[in-house]
């Protein structure tokens, strides 16, 4: 089975639980389990080859230009972690089926779980660091959904936010570190990067990359000082906690440190950063865990401690330490998943996780007690269980690391092991031993087989691996450790190595741990009385401070003043332009200037005068609209003068439509804009705008006085318009072929804008304060007595069929001559606008049978369908095709798919313009009903096809 398929199966499996939940909770769980089991089966198929030392590769070209290909590889390390993720994941699915209550949305839970599982599998199988980073961030997002699954619990929501902030922030740092690593190695493929240890460690970028990558690993694996988020994630359902702590989320950081061990380890920086952080985390987590009364909190801090242990071993940088780290990953996954699921059983059956309210459960819950006893003794490092073996290996490596006088390292590691023994025995003694109580919230008893089967299986594995470590785990440990170190390793896991110092340290740890448990009550009183920093309070204070700074900065910039936004943006552009001019190299242009005829000068002077008048008289809104129309007309004439008839037609059509619609809108607005800025602010705005104008003029002058030594995009369009797009009208070919995707986006935006105008109108007419203001509106100017002049009515009705024919003509000729769907749509819209203007909205609307909403939808649909059709020919989206046909007695003519795309443009433009007209006119009708200014236009019995009834 392809590695890509193995990575994709959990994501595919996430689709089915939500669909299957209507068939019942069992089918929903079965759907998730089937995808999980299939992925696990595919992994096991490759296991024999990997254990023989082979590396399985799957390469899929995706974005080669960015160096981002969907490459996957499977070696011993990937096999170990993927096996833990999928194997324990299958048990979690079974356990969750019986743990979650009927009120919990199980389909949603399994969807989140499978998304999370897919992200984790993607991390451990990825051979491309960019793809790995995508999966890395997906784990943060999906774990956020899982931790906050019980949305009704405030602690669940807060724990999810805390986990997301910490892990995602570290992930952002890691993105930078991994990009540096890929840059130094010259490749984004891990299989290549792992061969560049010398180049990476010799680079000046080694330390920045190391710090950034470790920041991502430490936040994900809850290493000091980022350890605080993990215990607060315990607000999640117990299946989530068991999965996060044993095989997934927190192991991602460990995996990446192990994966990059060959190229990052072996330096003093690696040793002190990784081993130091791991040792501190190990001790702090163990000490805090002893004094936690919540079962899951105790186990959470024990996870923090054991993650620190593994991190410390990886930091030592020796092959033996890597072997010990790999074996403890296996041991920890087995006993920790069993303990979390057992804790969930206790909470589920006894109704509480408070250790002080428990005790005496040994006789009431014998099966659960047996599971907890085995797993907790393994966590404490008691022989002959697997935890004892990994603890002995850890102490042996600590002794080797401290052989040069690092006695503090040995002492602290032994202290951490002692506290680990203490909280493990406290878990057994304070929860299950002692007399039976009479005040349990619920009467405790063992659950059904479905709930305890998964942790029982893990407890059995704890025993079996402890008894026969080399038989059951030796092969995978050797393969995984070999992948970590980049070479063959020696694996020798046995219970008895003689009277070695590690054995005596282990005895000291066990003895000290038992003493700590015996004196727990007095120690707990001291712990409670002694003041100490609370990580959650520190985190909340930092978050509040950052939020306050961000709020102040945002409020200072985003105060609702459009002038401020434009001033900041414009000033930024001007400063960037000045900096580029001062620091760049440039020389005067050598292209000769073209002589200017008198007529263009007159047009240019008129354009400047209108622009200046617009700036000075802009508070008179009606006059400003007229001046804008004049400016648009002069621009259209300029296009004609520069031999751009397509642009001229478009500009004139847009100007007509815009002016008409703006006149409708201005009817209900004040005719003058109030003075809102003082003289000093206006002077400031004048200076900023003037600087920007001078800069744009200088840039235009610089471009026009220079020849380009390289081919321009316009040269390409001119050369390939006919041969590539089948049209001689280069502008139209660009719109419907070369840049068809831009046009598709533009018509979509136009349609959305029209729908927004309609939505705002609906809201205005439905009621509320705005509606009351509309009903109370009184025209500020006297209306003309002749609302619909007879000459205008007759002229527009006679022009309509001619305009429609002209629109069709412009549409059909667009591919080879000036025209096209956009211009044709505007021409037809103008013809229809004239009907509404001359004869009134009610009269015109009652006689048309097209739904404007449907027209917009049909246009976007036709344009999109045309683009999708290119896929069937094996070509990119919106690639057009054309051909020439001859139908007697007609001459040969061209048929192009671009015409269908242009039809979509035409329909969208007509629908959008008419919907906006209809929406604005409805406001006029509603206001007219109140002031009785257009009684002849309102026909209550006439249907409104453009806007009503939706």
Sign of CA dihedral 609, 611, 613, 616: negative
Which pLDDT tens digit goes with each residue over 240-278? 988 988 877 888 999 999 999 999 998 989 999 999 999
Q: What does residue 515 show for φ and ψ, rounded to 5 degrees?
A: -65, -40
Percent of residues in the chain assigned helix, strand, coil, to nearest 5? 75, 0, 25
Give CA–CA dist 668/670, Å, rounded.
Answer: 7
pLDDT at 931 over 70: no
Residue 935 pLDDT exceeds 50: no
Residue 249's pLDDT is 81
- pLDDT over 80 at 365, yes or no: yes
**Position 396 in a domain:** yes
pLDDT at 81: 94
Whether 217 is in a domain gets the answer: no
The structural domain count of the chain equals 2
**What is the predicted pLDDT for the residue at 775?**
67
- The answer to the question of residue 144 being in a domain is no
DSSP assignment letter at 643 = T
Which of 518, 544, 578 represents a domain boundary (last residue)? 518
Confidence tier at 334 by pLDDT (50, 70, 90):
very high
Of the listed ranges 117-121, 271-275, 399-403, 441-445, the least confidently predicted one is 399-403
CA angle 104, 106, 111 (to 5 degrees): 135
User: Is 941 a domain residue?
Assistant: yes
**The pLDDT of residue 852:** 85
Residue 89 within any structural domain of the chain: no
Give residue 940's pLDDT.
41
Taking residues 398-408, what's their average pLDDT?
76
* End-to-end CA gap in the chain: 52
Instruction: Tell me what pLDDT residue 943 has.
Output: 45
pLDDT for the residue 776: 67
Does residue 426 register a pLDDT over 90? yes
Helix (H, G, I), strand (E, B) or coil at 293: coil
- Does residue 436 sit within a domain? yes
User: Who's near 654: CB < 8 A, 6+ residues apart?
Assistant: 632, 826
Report whether 369 contacts 362 (CB < 8 A): yes
Q: What letter does residue 21 receive in the DSSP assignment?
A: G
- For residue 856, tell me if it sits in a domain: yes
Q: Which two tokens stand for residue 212?
A: 């950034």
Mean pLDDT on 767-779: 69
pLDDT of 939 strictly over 50: no
Token digits of residue 263: 């190229």
Report pLDDT digits (tens) over 43-94. 999 999 999 888 998 888 887 777 788 889 999 999 999 999 999 999 999 9
pLDDT digits (tens, 9 = 90+) for 228-239: 888 888 888 899
Phi/psi at 3 (5° precision): -65, -35
**Rounded Cα gap, residues 549 and 743, in angstroms:** 41
Q: 928 pLDDT band (50/70/90 cuts)?
A: low
Average pLDDT over residues 131-139: 92
Of 312, 508, 452, which Cα lies nearest the Cα of 394?
312
Whole-structure pTM value = 0.71
Instruction: Tell me, yes or no, whether 744 lies in a domain.
Output: yes
Reported as half-sphere exposure (CB side, CA atoms, 13 A), residue 566 has a value of 9
Query: Mean pLDDT over residues 549-565, rounded?
Result: 82
pLDDT over 50 (residue 772): yes
Mean residue pLDDT across the chain: 86
Judged by average pLDDT, the poorest of 91-105, 200-214, 348-362, 884-898 is 884-898
Mean pLDDT of 318-339: 92
* Residue in the structure block whose two tokens are 């499996």: 13
Q: How far is the C-alpha of 29 from the C-alpha of 95, rounded, in Å?
A: 10
Instruction: Summarize the confidence of residues 3-22 as an average pLDDT.
Output: 89
- Please give the Cα distance from 232 to 532 (Å, whole number): 18
Looking at the chain, the whole-number percentage of residues with pLDDT higher than 70 is: 94
pLDDT above 80 (res 926): no
Stretch among 456-460, 665-669, 768-772, 863-867 having the lowest mean pLDDT: 768-772
Buried b (16+ CB within 10 A) or exposed e, 66-79: eebbbbbbbbbbbb
Tell me what pLDDT residue 332 has.
92
| Last residue within a domain, chosen from 496, 518, 540 | 518
CB atoms closer than 10 angstroms to residue 484 = 28
Looking at per-residue pLDDT, the higher value among 246 and 31 belongs to: 31
**Distance in angstroms (rounded) separating the CA atoms of residues 193 and 206:** 13
Contact 482, 488 (CB under 8 A): yes
Euclidean distance between CA atoms 836 and 669, whole angstroms: 21
Structure tokens at 199: 């180049």
Could you give the C-alpha distances from 379 to 112, 173, 297, 302, in angstroms and in order?
29, 33, 15, 9
Q: At which of 493, 518, 543 does a domain end?
A: 518
Considering only residues 715 and 145, tell me which one the structure prediction assigns the higher pLDDT.
Answer: 145
Domain of residue 810 covers: 728-950
Mean pLDDT of 867-872: 85
Highest mean pLDDT among 107-121, 771-785, 874-888, 925-939: 107-121
3-state secondary structure 69-134: CCCEEECHHHHHHHHHHHHHHHHHHHHHHHHCCCCCCHHHHHHHHHHHHHHHHHHHHECEHHHHHH
């Amino acid at each position: 089975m392809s590695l890509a398929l193995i990575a994709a199966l959990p994501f595919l499996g996430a689709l089915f639980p939500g669909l299957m939940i209507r068939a019942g909770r069992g089918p929903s769980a079965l759907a998730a389990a089937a995808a999980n089991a299939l992925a696990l089966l595919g992994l096991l198929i490759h296991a024999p080859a990997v254990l023989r030392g082979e590396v399985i590769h799957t390469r899929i070209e995706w974005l080669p230009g960015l160096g981002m290909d969907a490459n996957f590889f499977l070696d011993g390390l990937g096999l170990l972690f993927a096996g833990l993720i999928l194997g324990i994941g299958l048990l979690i699915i079974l356990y969750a089926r019986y743990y979650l209550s009927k009120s919990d949305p199980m389909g949603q839970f399994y969807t989140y779980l499978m998304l999370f599982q897919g992200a984790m599998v993607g991390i451990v199988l990825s051979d491309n660091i960019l793809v790995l980073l995508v999966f890395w961030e997906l784990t943060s997002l999906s774990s956020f959904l899982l931790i906050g699954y019980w949305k009704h619990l405030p602690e669940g929501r807060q724990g999810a936010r805390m986990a997301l902030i910490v892990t995602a922030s570290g992930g952002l740092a890691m993105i930078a570190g991994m990009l540096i690593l890929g840059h130094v190695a010259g490749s984004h493929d891990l299989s290549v990067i792992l061969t560049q240890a010398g180049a990476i460690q010799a680079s000046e970028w080694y330390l920045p990359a190391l710090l950034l990558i470790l920041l991502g690993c430490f936040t994900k694996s809850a290493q000091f000082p980022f350890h605080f988020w993990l215990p607060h994630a315990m607000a999640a359902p117990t299946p989530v906690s068991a999965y996060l702590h044993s095989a997934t989320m927190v192991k991602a950081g460990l995996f990446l440190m192990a994966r990059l061990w060959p190229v990052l380890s072996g330096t003093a920086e690696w040793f002190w950063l990784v081993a130091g952080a791991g040792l501190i985390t190990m001790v702090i987590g163990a000490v805090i865990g002893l004094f936690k009364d919540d079962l899951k909190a105790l186990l959470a801090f024990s996870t923090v401690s054991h993650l620190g242990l593994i991190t410390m071993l990886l930091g030592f940088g020796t092959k033996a330490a890597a072997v010990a780290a790999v074996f403890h990953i296996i041991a920890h996954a087995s006993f920790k998943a069993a303990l979390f699921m057992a804790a969930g059983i206790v909470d589920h059956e006894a109704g509480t996780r408070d250790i002080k309210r428990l005790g005496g459960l040994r006789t009431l819950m014998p099966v659960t007690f047996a599971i907890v006893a085995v797993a907790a003794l393994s966590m404490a490092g008691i022989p002959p269980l697997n935890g004892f073996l990994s603890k002995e290996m850890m102490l042996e490596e600590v002794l080797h690391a401290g052989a040069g006088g690092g006695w503090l390292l040995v002492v602290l590691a032994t202290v951490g092991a002692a506290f680990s023994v203490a909280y493990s025995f406290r878990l057994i003694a304070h929860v299950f031993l002692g007399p039976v109580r009479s005040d349990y919230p619920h009467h405790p008893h063992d659950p059904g087989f479905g709930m305890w089967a998964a942790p029982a299986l893990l407890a059995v594995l704890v025993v079996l691996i402890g008894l026969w470590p080399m038989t059951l785990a030796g092969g995978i440990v050797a393969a995984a450790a070999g992948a970590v170190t980049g070479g063959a390793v020696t694996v020798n896991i046995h219970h008895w190595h003689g009277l070695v110092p590690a054995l005596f340290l282990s005895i000291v740890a066990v003895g000290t741990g038992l003493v700590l448990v015996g004196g727990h009550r007095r120690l707990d009183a001291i712990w409670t009385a002694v003041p100490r920093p609370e990580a959650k309070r520190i985190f909340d204070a930092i978050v509040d401070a950052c939020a306050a700074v961000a709020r102040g900065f945002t409020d200072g910039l985003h105060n609702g003043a459009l002038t401020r936004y434009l001033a900041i943006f414009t000033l930024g552009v001007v400063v960037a332009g000045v900096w580029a001019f001062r620091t760049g190299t440039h020389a005067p242009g050598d292209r000769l200037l073209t002589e200017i005829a008198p007529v263009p000068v007159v047009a240019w002077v008129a354009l400047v005068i209108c622009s200046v008048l617009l700036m000075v008289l802009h508070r008179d809104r009606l006059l400003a609209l007229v001046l804008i129309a004049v400016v648009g007309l002069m621009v259209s004439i300029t296009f004609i003068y520069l031999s751009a008839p397509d642009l001229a037609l478009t500009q004139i059509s847009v100007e007509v439509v815009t002016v008409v619609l703006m006149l409708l809108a201005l009817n209900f607005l004040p005719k003058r804009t109030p003075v809102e800025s003082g003289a000093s602010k206006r002077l400031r705005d004048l200076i900023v705008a003037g600087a920007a104008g001078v800069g744009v003029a200088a840039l235009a002058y610089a471009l026009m006085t220079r020849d380009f030594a390289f081919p321009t995009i316009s040269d390409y369009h001119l050369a390939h318009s006919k041969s590539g797009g089948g049209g001689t009208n280069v502008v139209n070919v660009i719109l419907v072929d070369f840049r068809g995707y831009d046009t598709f986006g533009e018509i979509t935006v136009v349609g959305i804008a029209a729908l927004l105008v309609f939505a705002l109108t609906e809201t205005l007419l439905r009621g509320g304060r705005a509606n009351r203001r509309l009903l109370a509106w009184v025209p500020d100017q006297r209306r003309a007595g002749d609302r619909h002049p007879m000459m205008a009515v007759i002229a527009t009705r006679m022009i309509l069929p001619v305009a429609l024919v002209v629109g069709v003509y412009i549409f059909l000729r667009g591919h080879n001559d000036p025209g096209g769907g956009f211009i044709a749509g505007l021409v037809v819209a103008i013809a229809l606008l004239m009907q509404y203007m001359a004869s009134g909205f009610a009269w015109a609307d009652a006689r048309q049978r097209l739904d404007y909403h449907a027209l917009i939808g049909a246009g976007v649909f036709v344009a999109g369908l045309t683009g999708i059709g290119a896929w069937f020919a094996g070509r990119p989206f919106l690639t057009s095709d054309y051909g020439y046909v001859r139908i007697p007695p007609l001459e040969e003519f061209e048929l192009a798919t671009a015409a269908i795309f242009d039809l979509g443009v035409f329909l969208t433009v007509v629908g959008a313009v008419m919907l906006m007209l209809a929406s604005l006119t409805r406001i006029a009708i509603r206001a007219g009903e109140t002031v009785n200014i257009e009684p002849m236009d309102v026909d209550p019995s006439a249907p409104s096809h453009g806007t009503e009834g939706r």
